[in-house]
Amino acid sequence: MDITPQSLVVVANRLPVDAQVTEGTEGRTVTWRPSPGGLVTAMDAVMRSNPGAWVGWCGTAGLELDPFTDDSGRTLVPIPLSATDLEEHYEGFSNASLWPLYHDGVAPPEYHREWWATYEEVNRRFADAAAAAAAEGATVWVHDYQLQLVPAMLRAMRPDLRIGFFLHIPFPPHEIFRQIPWRRQILEGLLGSDLIGFQRKTDASNFRRTLRMQLGMQTQRTFVKVPGTRADEPERLVRAEAYPISIDSADFEALARSPEVQDRAAEIRRELGNPDLLMLGVDRLDYTKGIRHRLRAIGELLDEGELDPTRAVLVQVASPSRGRVELYQAIRDDIESTVGRINGSFATIGHNPVIHLHQPQPREEIVALYLAADLMLVTALRDGMNLVAKEYVASRFDGDGVLVLSEFAGAADELTQAVTVNPYDIDGLKAAIMQAVTMDRSERRRRMRFLRRRVMENDVQAWAHRFLDALTGSET
């Protein structure tokens, strides 16, 4: 079908829905289900109230589909990606080069010229589709590290557009970023934007400093002076600033208040033997999330007798992530081995102190776990935001529960009444867990009141309005 040009176009690596292909006697049938990931969850809530076009991959390699309009009135524009595209653009350059680099080199990045070539080509495909979907003078909002070349490509094709870019992961210091062989191309790609948003002020500051050091550009407060590419093209001001993302807070609270979820929360505690202490970790399986550090701290607390292995339990949800990347397979093996050692040392008949769930959980089950848990452990080694921390707080309408939060997660800037911790400091992490365990009820509730006020007021709609108002010049 032809695309009706839209006044708002979102460009992201994934569509908000994944294609499910079934081959039958009457041919191929395509059905759709919601896509995973925090970006999709956040932007899906925004676009329900601001219908437009969404450009992204459909979730199945090699599948070419026409644009279509879904039940909510959004125009979805599927971008075809081959198996090679996924291997070199997504698993390769995006997640084996950029992801570790942008997370301060928590794991060593790899650089391959063929990956970069595919990254450029795929970015071009997304830019072409966005240009075709955008009405005259439209606002185009490009998302995340997989598509950093799209803004400049779009500007070259469609100078009439207002172009915003939001980076959902950290931006590293110049000393780390400079090692990438294609650093100039990435910076120039981002500078095609009118507004570049980051999760934290330090990320925006890192970016502006990198422009000064790498490209010799002048910056003034949050603005960057970008010279024209032609003699007759005037200088532009590009804004680079922090716009910390959030969640659909009211939706999480409403789900937590539902009788079904409350009943399930009570059932979870019964199934676990009604422990005195239920700790929870909910993460994608990733080396940046600090799952191994968390398990080490819990294992030592059990070994030292600080936690009673018969009355305490940790439920660790580690959803599959990039399973074809060798490093992630090694992480899974390491986590499962650690869980096995802890349970082998402290399990009793009918009770394991650590429950490891390595499969996606329905949203209702996750919220029931949030409601059931006494402690939420977010121990990321480096994280742009970490929406799980905010989801836990939004779900705790009962005003109880304690959030233990890494200072290296962007959420720590806002959620200052959490028990903050340096996850690299295992003794400090153990002390933080025990502080949370022994915290009296009045202190727990005081902290949670503050956390809930921040999360409920600064929800995903407020985040989107702040960004889009700044992009379109309508902010007050």
Contact 225, 219 (CB under 8 A): yes
H or E stretch at 125? helix 113-133
Burial of 72 (0-12, 13-18, 19+ CB in 10 A): exposed
Give the C-alpha separation, 67 to 181, whole Å.
36
Write the single-letter amino acid at 49: S
Residue 314, CA atoms < 13 Å, CB-side half-sphere: 28
Q: Which residues pair with 163 in a beta bridge?
A: 140
Active-site choice (85, 203, 286, 383): 383
Active-site choice (103, 168, 293, 356): 168
> Is 168 a residue of the active site?
yes
Question: Which two three-digit tokens encode residue 349?
Answer: 């008949």
> Is 174 a residue of the active site?
no
Q: Which residues pair with 134 in a beta bridge?
A: 6
Give the C-alpha separation, 292 to 364, whole Å.
26
CA atoms 165, 170, 175, 176: torsion sign: negative
In b/e form, how buried is each residue of 95-104, taking b as 16+ CB within 10 angstroms?
A: bbbbbbbbbe
- Give which of 245, 211, 39, 19 is closest to 142, Cα–Cα: 39
- Give which of 100, 164, 76, 53 is closest to 325, Cα–Cα: 100
Residue 5, CA atoms < 13 Å, CB-side half-sphere: 10
H or E stretch at 8? strand 6-14
Q: Which residues are catalytic?
A: 168, 383
